[in-house]
Amino acid sequence: MIDEGFAAECLGPVGEAVRRAAAAEIMPRFRSLTADQVAEKKGPHDLVTVADRGAEAHLTAALTELLPGSVVVGEEAVDADPALYAELGGDRPVWIVDPIDGTRTFVRGDEGFCTLVALAHQGELLASWTYSPVRDEMATALRGGGAHLDGVPLWAGAPASGAPLEIAASHPRFTTPARKRALLGLRAEGVRTRPCAGSAGLEYLAIARGAVDATVFAWENAWDHAAGLLLVAEAGGAHATLTGAPFRLAGGNALPFTTARDAETLTRIRGLLLGEAPAE
């Protein structure tokens, strides 16, 4: 395991590297993209831009310089070489990077996107950074050291007693039949469900702030979830896959999985996903 002192010491330097990448590669192209700077990967809902690729290359150079011997598992690098994802289950320290979380939002010129970075070793999350370039907001989390937004501690708290649960969830239409059946269980009394916004990272930040009660996701790409999972955990929240096991960065999770402001809310939502009748 990496010396935990390194994770604490790198909070500032990594945050600055993220800001520099956004300033150099992302914000100059915000609302300025041309058609030839946007491409489809696996379809019209899976986009990549020159800003995604430029920011990931910028971060890859900076992060591996900060921690020699480490490897970057980034969304765009894995798209080019899927075998790279296996590094999440290996022995080397791993930087998990989503250069633009919410690329479709970015392409539309909307503000709801962010840059995500997490540091992991042997499957354990050690630190994370969630940066909104438009708002210049930086949320950080350190394993055992809490969650902060621009230096101010975050605490997720618990939903108000008797109030409907506010849940951001994957749309049932865009997943497997089994996951769709589970997601339809959220259509229950006392639950208000809306589709996830363009950025998973900003949904996790909303939980850590206490603005959303939970998320339910039906996909497991580590770059979408790693930073947010640690952020919510250090803000007092909880998560579990459909079986109740913790989310595994390397994959093979029972989906959909839930992240919530507190353990009680997590248990309640998992019960809905599993089709369990609520207690009288």
User: Which residues, in sequence order, are CB contacts of 132 under 8 Å at separation 6+?
Assistant: 111, 113, 114, 138, 202
CA distances from 125 to 16, 88, 128, 161 (A): 20, 11, 8, 32
Alpha helices by DSSP H, 92-189: 103-108, 177-184
Residue 277 reports pLDDT greater than 60: no
Pick from 257, 254, 278: nearest CA to 191 = 278
User: What's residue 41's pLDDT?
Assistant: 82
CB atoms within 10 A of CB 112: 19
User: What's residue 280's pLDDT?
Assistant: 38
What SS3 class is residue 131? strand
The count of residues in the chain is: 280
What SS3 class is residue 119? strand
Residue 279 reports pLDDT greater than 60: no
Q: What does the alpha-carbon distance between residue 111 and residue 220 come to, in Å, rounded to a whole number?
A: 24
Q: What does the alpha-carbon distance between residue 24 and residue 98 come to, in Å, rounded to a whole number?
A: 16
User: What's residue 5's pLDDT?
Assistant: 85
User: What's residue 43's pLDDT?
Assistant: 66
| Domains located in the chain, CATH noted | 4-153 (3.30.540.10), 165-273 (3.40.190.80)
Cross-strand pairs, 118: 96, 128
192 backbone dihedrals φ, ψ, rounded to 5°: -115, 115
Alpha helices by DSSP H, 100-188: 103-108, 177-184
User: What's residue 173's pLDDT?
Assistant: 81
Residue 220 reports pLDDT greater than 90: yes
User: What's residue 4's pLDDT?
Assistant: 67
Residue 164 reports pLDDT greater than 50: yes
Indicate the helix (H) or strand (E) that contains 21. Answer: helix 11-21
Which pTM value belongs to this model? 0.95
> 138 near 239, Cβ under 8 Å?
no
Indicate the helix (H) or strand (E) that contains 269. Answer: helix 263-273
Burial class (CB in 10 A: 0-12, 13-18, 19+), 118: buried
Which of 46-50, 112-116, 140-144, 268-272 is least confident?
46-50
Average pLDDT, the chain: 94
> 49 near 31, Cβ under 8 Å?
no
Q: What does the alpha-carbon distance between residue 177 and residue 189 come to, in Å, rounded to a whole number?
A: 23
Task: Convert the pLDDT of each residue in 10-58 to its tens digit.
Answer: 999 999 999 999 999 999 999 999 999 999 887 667 789 999 999 999 9
Residue 278 reports pLDDT greater than 90: no
Q: Is the peptide bond before 256 cis (omega within 30 degrees of 0)?
A: yes
